[in-house]
Amino acid sequence: MALQFTDADFQAAWTELDEPQIEGGWELFTESMGVKIYRLYNKETGLYEYKVFGTLSGCCPEVCADVYMDLDYRKQWDSYVKELHEKDYGGQKAVYWEVKYPFPLSNRDYVYIRERRDLQVNGRKIWTVLARSSVVSNCPEKSGVIRVKDYKQTVAMESDGAQGTKVFMNYFDNPGGNIPTWLINWAAKTGVPGFLKDMQDACSKYSNYCKNRK
């Protein structure tokens, strides 16, 4: 199988922890709870790509990375998950993820590949996870659920020098269908800080979860 992500992809992710790349049309969208969200308009889709910079206090980056990768645990703390698992689709390992949308909107689902690398960079340890949508022929679309075919997410994390984690996230998805722009904007403005807060809470409970799972 061809290499899914390159060294350059991972380097592009972690360098934004040091030097945020927000020239060329990126605008500050919102700032709350120590998190800054920038967005860039995509003319082809009429949607925005987002970059998130912030700190998760009280949880170390290694635990954050473990929590981010643990799909079974995600089902425990993310109330928007309808279905989530990783499996082998004919030689291609991929994640299937169905997300609950509020009535009367249809749920969305994703099929994506992901890779985690724990990097040593000039004496620093940086945890990175890259994900992007993938076409998997033997994972058919479900009736009444809209398949998101254009999705990417990049996460880079390192210690903030105290007890927390410095985080960079870049993401884009095209949910398809007729979703009002206000709802997409609302989801970005409230959903991302909300997700980070939920994840922070999930990190604090992760060791207990792992003990009980054994």
Q: pTM score, two decimals?
A: 0.91
Give me the domains of the chain, ranges plus CATH numbers. 7-213 (3.30.530.20)
Looking only at the bridges linking them, the beta strands covering 124-133 and 27-32 are unpaired
Sign of CA dihedral 99, 100, 101, 104: positive
Q: What is the pLDDT of residue 2?
A: 43
Q: What is the pLDDT of residue 180?
A: 80
Q: What is the pLDDT of residue 214?
A: 67
Q: Running DSSP on this structure, what letter comes out for residue 14? A: H
Q: What is the pLDDT of residue 9?
A: 95
Q: What is the pLDDT of residue 1?
A: 41
Q: What is the pLDDT of residue 73?
A: 97
Strand partners, 168: 53, 156
Q: Running DSSP on this structure, what letter comes out for residue 57? A: T
Residues lower than pLDDT 50 in the chain: 1-2
CA 184/CA 186 separation, integer angstroms: 5
CA 207/CA 38 separation, integer angstroms: 33
Q: Dig out the tokens for 164 from the structure.
A: 């927390």
